[in-house]
């Protein structure tokens, strides 16, 4: 298992059915019963941080899970094999629209089919409140499932599985703090969009408040000496990520994410121009400002400033 600032990724395989009690703030206390005959095998891939965790589970045999969810987190879950067989969650079946949901400490029963796969996101309520607003969190706390639009459900599922897959295939990512923060921000924004698109959360905020939110967000970025995420901007501005996106589109005609990319590019460009080319490295400066792919950074830099990062670094005294 690797870790960076409390971030961990692990792949755990088991060949026996057993009671599952995960220690720590993400603890579930459940009993797992095997329902179909044959050799049992399970695989768990888990990405865990202090305030958000993702896990993808595969059970070779049909199982029944009975118990309680974590007392400290809200859970959202999706079936990854709904086309082949049904996952039953508290009496309902999950598919590409219907997602499981559980408030902290919820008593649940869950049945997975043979060769069933599912993915779960757990988030601390205070993190969701900062990201989505209290109204959305209250809605989550009162539901056992959500019927999202199919396109929204597929987008959220693809994002969750994509994050797990990237960490499984690139273990060094646990050392990249900005990458995880950006993925967490995107996960929470996508969940917020799913909830808002079912028409149950009003994202309207007055024009003056939107203008103030943009001003606070930009000031936060300017005071920071490291790359920040859209979620951090929303928290600093005191609004949900969805509201901040409305505000940025209205005031700047771009999303917070687009603004942050431009800001990071400019910050990296300024540092390249000021650096000693005999000591500084383009890759190190790019990583500092959240660009983990050197080729992509070079392409973006050239498009924005009409020169490569290496050319900017060689401009001594400019």
**131-135, 181-185, 257-261: segment of lowest average pLDDT:** 131-135
* 143 lies in the same domain as 84: yes
What is the pLDDT, as a whole number, of residue 201?
46
> Left (φ > 0), alpha (ψ -120 to 50) or beta: where does 59 sit?
beta
What is the pLDDT, as a whole number, of residue 182?
92
> At 6, phi and psi to the nearest 5?
85, 0
Mean per-residue pLDDT over the chain, rounded? 87
Does the residue 137 lie in any domain?
A: yes
Both tokens assigned to 151: 């396109």
Instruction: Give the count of domains, the chain.
Output: 3
pLDDT tens track for 198-250: 754 444 556 677 888 888 898 898 888 888 888 888 888 888 888 888 889 88
* 35 lies in the same domain as 141: yes
Q: Determine the average pLDDT of the residues in 164-179.
A: 92
Rounded CA gap, 61 and 24, in Å? Answer: 28
- Provide the CATH number for the domain around residue 274: 1.10.10
Q: Is the Cβ–Cβ distance between 89 and 120 less than 8 Å?
A: no
Does the residue 287 lie in any domain?
A: yes
What is the pLDDT, as a whole number, of residue 30?
86
* 242 lies in the same domain as 292: no
Q: Is the Cβ–Cβ distance between 309 and 272 less than 8 Å?
A: yes
pLDDT tens track for 41-55: 999 999 999 999 999
Q: pTM value? A: 0.76
């Amino acid at each position: 298992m690797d870790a960076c600032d409390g971030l961990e990724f692990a792949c755990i395989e088991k060949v026996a059915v057993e009671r599952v009690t995960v220690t720590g703030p993400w603890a579930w206390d459940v009993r797992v019963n095997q329902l179909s005959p044959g050799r049992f095998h399970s695989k768990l891939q888990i990405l865990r941080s202090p305030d958000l965790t993702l896990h993808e589970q595969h059970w070779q045999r049909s199982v029944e899970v009975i118990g309680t969810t974590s007392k400290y987190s809200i859970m959202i879950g999706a079936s990854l094999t709904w086309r082949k067989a049904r996952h039953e969650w508290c009496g309902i079946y999950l598919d590409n629209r219907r997602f499981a949901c559980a408030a902290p400490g919820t008593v649940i029963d869950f049945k997975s089919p043979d060769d069933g796969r599912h993915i779960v996101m757990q988030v601390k309520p205070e993190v969701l409140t900062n990201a989505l607003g209290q109204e959305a969190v209250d809605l989550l706390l009162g539901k056992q499932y959500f019927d999202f639009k199919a396109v929204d459900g597929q987008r959220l599922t693809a994002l969750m599985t994509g994050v797990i897959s990237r960490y499984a295939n690139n273990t060094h990512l646990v050392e990249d703090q900005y990458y995880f923060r950006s993925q967490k921000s995107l996960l929470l924004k996508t969940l917020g969009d799913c909830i808002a698109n079912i028409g149950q959360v009003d994202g309207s905020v007055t024009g003056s408040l939107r203008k103030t939110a943009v001003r606070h967000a930009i000031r936060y970025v300017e005071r920071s000496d490291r790359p920040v995420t859209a979620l951090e901007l929303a928290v600093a501005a005191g609004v949900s990520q969805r509201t901040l996106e409305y505000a940025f589109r209205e005031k700047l005609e771009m999303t917070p994410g687009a603004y942050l990319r431009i800001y990071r590019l400019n910050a990296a460009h300024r540092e390249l121009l000021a650096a000693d080319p005999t000591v500084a490295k383009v890759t190190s400066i790019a990583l500092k400002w959240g660009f983990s792919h050197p080729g992509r950074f070079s392409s973006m830099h050239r498009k924005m400033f009409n020169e490569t990062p290496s050319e900017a670094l060689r401009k001594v005294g400019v």
